[in-house]
Amino acid sequence: MPATKLSKAATHDHASRIFDLDVSSLRELNQALHALTPGSNETAWEVLHPKGSHSVAVGVDQPVTIDVRGSVGYYCGGMNSGSTITVHGSAGPGVGENMMSGSIIVKGDASQYAGATGKGGLLVIEGNASSRCGISMKGIDIVVHGNIGHMSAFMAQSGNLVVLGDAGDALGDSIYEARLFVRGKVDSLGADCIAKEMRPEHLELLQGLLDRAGVTGVKPSEFKRYGSARTLYNFNIDNADAY
């Protein structure tokens, strides 16, 4: 797996406010994060013993860093607005769902629907992501170091999905204007998704995404670009068998 600059975030920061989910409740954690105001000096948080808890650090809207020491359940970082969340483990379904801005880094693997409907920000999965990664994405950038499962980027509207490994079946089914970059093989493309020319502006965009995600040793020219053929944008009965 390629090296990543962001792994530095894993180093222990002794100035962190530590929240142990063995001792405190999820509700206390999220409410403490929501109580943060602009300019707060509690900028570094650490969550211990998540043990697969759902909804860890959801709805955070301040630019703080949150290091989660372990694996999480559903919807970690849901609707994140501006915070940087690092999951030092794997993430369950819907990590970073509907994220607005900020970034989420998963050091392990991610389950289904990673980054679903995300509006902005950056989601990095250092392992593999399961099916429906980037489903209905609306502006988020997602970088997966490993592989992604089937039906990824289904109805993806906007944003970029970068996959350093392979993609499963029906990639980009019914895609709108999102851009997909896959370095490995694609099992199959979904309805209305086609391979597209990688023009200079795409190479530049991709390099920027790789840099932001801390990926080194990988060149944009190693990727193929996929996107919408736009043939299903307006209904035509002769296309009905495409659905």
Partner 1 sequence: MTYRNPPTTPRKSATFDDYTLSEIRRAAATGIYDIRGAGAKRKLPHFDDLLFLGASISRYPLEGYRERCDTSVVLGSRHAKKPIELKIPITIAGMSFGSLSGPAKEALGRGATLAGTSTTTGDGGMTEEERGHSKTLVYQYLPSRYGMNLRDLRRADAIEVVVGQGAKPGGGGMLLGQKISDRVAEMRTLPKGIDQRSASRHPDWTGPDDLEIKILELREITDWEKPIYVKVGGARPYYDTALAVKAGADVVVVDGMQGGTAATQEVFIENVGQPTLACIRPAVQALQDLGMHRKVQLIVSGGIRNGADVAKALALGVDAVSIGTAALVALGDNDPRWEAEYNELGTTAGAYDDWHEGRDPAGITTQDPELMKRVDPIAAGRRLANYLKVMTLEAQTIARACGKNSLHNLEPEDLVALTIEAAAMAGVPLAGTNWIPGKNGF
127 touches 109 (CB < 8 A): yes
Rounded distance between C-alpha atoms, residue 138 and residue 89, angstroms: 26
100-121 as b/e: b if 16+ CB within 10 A: bbbbbbbbbbbbbbbbbbbbbb
Q: Does 85 bind partner 1 (CB under 8 A)?
A: no
Torsion, CA 202, CA 205, CA 207, CA 211, rounded to 10: -160
Q: Counting beta carbons within 10 angstroms of the beta carbon of residue 35, is it exposed (0 to 12), middle (13 to 18) or buried (19 or more)?
A: exposed
Q: Does 121 bind partner 1 (CB under 8 A)?
A: no
- Hey, which residues between 174 and 213 contact partner 1 (CB under 8 A)? 176-177
Q: Among 158, 165, 198, 229, which residue interacts with partner 1 (rule: CB under 8 A)?
A: 158
Q: Does 34 bind partner 1 (CB under 8 A)?
A: yes
Q: Which two tokens stand for residue 23?
A: 């001792």
Only segment of 42-50, 180-188, 212-220, 233-241 that touches partner 1 (CB under 8 A) = 233-241
Count of residues of this chain found to bind partner 1 when the rule CB under 8 A is applied: 42
Q: Does 235 bind partner 1 (CB under 8 A)?
A: yes
> What DSSP string runs through 165-234?
S-B-SSBTTT--S-EEEESS-BS-B-TTEEEE---HHHHHHHHHHHHHTTB-S--GGG-EEEEE--SSSS
Helices H / strands E in the chain, number of each: 2, 11
Only segment of 9-17, 142-150, 207-215, 227-235 that touches partner 1 (CB under 8 A) = 227-235
Only segment of 63-71, 91-99, 164-172, 182-190 that touches partner 1 (CB under 8 A) = 91-99
Tell me the closest approach of the beta carbon of residue 80 to partner 1, in angstroms: 8
Output 59 or 184, the one with its CB closest to partner 1.
Answer: 59
Tell me the closest approach of the beta carbon of residue 123 to partner 1, in angstroms: 13
Task: Give CA angle at 168 (163, 173), nearest 5°.
Answer: 90
Tell me the closest approach of the beta carbon of residue 81 to partner 1, in angstroms: 5
- Interface residues with partner 1 (CB under 8 A) are 26-27, 30-31, 34, 54-55, 58-59, 61, 73-75, 78-79, 81, 93-94, 97-98, 100, 112-113, 116-117, 119, 132, 135-136, 138-139, 154-155, 157-158, 176-177, 233-235, 237-238
